[in-house]
Structure formats: C-alpha cells, structure tokens
Structure 1
Amino acid sequence: MSRIFRMSVASVYVHYVAKAERKGHTKDEVDEVTRWLTGFSPAELEAHLADGTTFEDFFAAANLNPNAPLITGVICGIRVQEIDDPLMQKIRYLDLLVEEVARGKKMASILRS
C-alpha cells in the first residue's frame, strides 16, 4: 500500500491551497474542484479536513463525480488515465485539478462541463 493512502488529506490540502495562492488563486477555488470531484458538501469537506481523514477513507466516503474519467493529463510524469490503482488515480485526479486551478485554467474547463 502506498504511503500516501495513509496520509491525511489535510496534510496535503495545505500544500494544494498554498500552490493555488502562490499563483494568484484562492482556497475557494481549491475547495470547489475538491467538492466537484468528491461530491462532498462544504461542511463534509471541512469535517474531513478537521478530522484528519486519510486519503483512503476520504475517497471511500466520496461519491466520485461521473465526469472524473474525463480528467486526463500528466501529473508527476504519469498520465492519470493510465494509472491502474483506483485510489491512486483518484488522488492524482485531485492533484491535476489543483494544478489546473494554479495554472489559471477556466473553472468550466476544469470541472469538465
């Protein structure tokens, strides 16, 4: 099992927000893409972050957006659509969405709408 599966989402989330903010974007945008991917309400997302939920439990509780398979691209040198492990693929989907926020991609495009 990958070490990241047992890491808390909150421990990585702070880096997601910092990355977006460094590039002139906001925590709200990171929250929006995270909620879009997971189906969590704002309160549910905040509860998972406050409780230190692991990535494994976070995505087990999520109702993954049906358009998530439309997320394609390369993150950390790996094409997300070619990742075999379902949990790792979901984590990389989130990584890629945050990367797209940081790069200033339009939200409608990021949310595959």
Structure 2
Amino acid sequence: MKHVLYGMRGADVAQAALVIAQALKCEFQERESDYLGIYQTARIAEAQIKVISQTDPEGDPVEEEFEEYETLIYIDGESAFPELESLTAPQGLLEKLRDHV
C-alpha cells in the first residue's frame, strides 16, 4: 500500500478538495473529527483521499516539517494518481511532500 502526502499553499480545505475532485472526477464528503477538525474525504477504487488543514483544532501543525503548506492531502491505497503530479490551481500548486510504500 502506498502512502502519499501532498501539500498546497494558498488554498483552504474546500478549495483544494474542489480542484482535486475536478482532476480525478470524484466527489468529496465533508467530515469532522476532534483530531483533524473539518476535513474532506473521497474514495476512488481502493484509494482513500483526505484533505485536511495543516493546523489542527488547537492551532498546532499536523505536519511540523511542512508548516508552510496550509492544506495537506493524504492518499492511502494502491492507486497512483499521475493527474495530481502537476496539478495547479489559482490558489497554488499541489506539491508531493512524501511518498512511502
């Protein structure tokens, strides 16, 4: 299973999810958790995508080494999404931050 982390500057969770939904032709659902706050999630085949705010509900960074990104996108699954590699939005560029197998 692959675990990929992307980051986006200049876009909030809803904006980033909309751009990704258009690129991957999928639909996101809004969820809420005590740990993540409000986030967006989608499932494509065997892949789970979560779009979250870099800051948790208490104001702490979720990924300290990537604090300069306002929005984080986690993809867990067997699918690779090459469509995301060069995805740009008016708010910013989606950048791959980490890729683990």
Q: Same fold (TM over 0.5)?
A: no
Higher helix proportion (structure 1 or 2): 1
Instruction: Give the TM-score normalised by structure 2.
Output: 0.37
TM-score, length of structure 1 as denominator length:
0.34
Quick check: which one's strand share is greater? Answer: 2
Q: Which has the larger radius of gyration?
A: 1
Which protein, 1 or 2, shows the higher relative CO under an 8 Å CA cutoff with sep ≥ 6? Answer: 2
